[in-house]
Amino acid sequence: MKIAISVSNGYVSGPGEGDEVWIVDVHEDGSYEIIERFENPAKYATHARGIHMFRGVLERGVNTVILSEIGPRGFQVATRNGIKIYIFNGKAEDAIKAFIEGRLAEAIGPTHGEHHEHHLHRHRYEEGFGNYDFLRPFVSKGMVIADLGCGTGHYCRFFKDFASKLYCVDIDNEALDVVRRELGNYSNVIILNEDITRTTIPSSSVDLAFMSNVFHDIDDKELVVKEVGRILKPGGKLLIIEFKKDVLFGPPFKLSPEEVEKYFTREGFVREQVLEVSPYHYMLVLKKAP
């Protein structure tokens, strides 16, 4: 039988994050050979990246895939197309051996709650992300908060309890449908199906802006910086969560805190601190000049 693996630097990755896809022919005697390695088409997709990886696999007649993680929408697409998903975290060669030895169980659901299909690279083993404790020092009652690239609202669910007004912004309308179903009845929640580089949020109206695994994925980062600067009040804060550069899985384009900071210091932002919010992520805290 043939299986496919999403791979980055020799390690199993997510469907939308792998640099390449391996097609592996597993023989009845337990041996195997990698018969094809092709560039992951997800690398050039602007949204729903994982779906592009699945299409490339199906076109090659393969319906069994090994991944490091899978979100709700990706799992739904895979199930609808008869694709079996197996989860493994580690080297791709070890994943193949584990599959052959029967040590991998077929996934019966997504490994994480979804954010934005091509922005979320959150793994089920990321301690600290579920309880939001790392965000509590930065919020207070009555704030105006903007979650930019909110996806299906993972963090909006937390922010809504503090914000007098919460903007949940995303270009993916299907992801926002989840936000509408879960948070649409809250009078303080404003859902915007907009590009985060040009929103309708009033100027100088936001106390706290937030982006999680979004900034690295934006083509025109200068536009995002200017937009955040426009909507934040003087002295307002920006929280940016990104993958650490030394993590072997996740998005192929990772940025260090220093690289992210450079974009914002040009617009008068000041770095306050960098926090480790999981073994794989940091959070950069920036403040707009008063």
Identical topology for domains 2-100 and 133-288 = no
CATH superfamily of 133-288: Vaccinia Virus protein VP39 (3.40.50.150)
What is this structure's pTM? 0.65
Q: Spell 194-213 as b/e; 16+ CB within 10 A means b.
A: bbbbebebeeeebbbbbbbb
Average pLDDT over residues 52-79: 89
Provide the pLDDT for residue 249.
Answer: 61
Q: How many CB atoms lie within 10 A of CB 21?
A: 25
Average pLDDT over residues 168-188: 92
Provide the pLDDT for residue 117.
Answer: 37
How buried is 223 (Cβ within 10 angstroms: 0-12 exposed, 13-18 middle, 19+ buried)?
middle
Provide the pLDDT for residue 46.
Answer: 57
Determine how β-strand 20-26 pairs with β-strand 32-39. antiparallel
Average pLDDT over residues 196-205: 97
Average pLDDT over residues 186-206: 97
Least confident of 10-24, 62-76, 192-206: 62-76
- Fold (CATH) for 2-100: Nucleotidyltransferase; domain 5 (3.30.420)
**Domain limits, the chain:** 2-100, 133-288
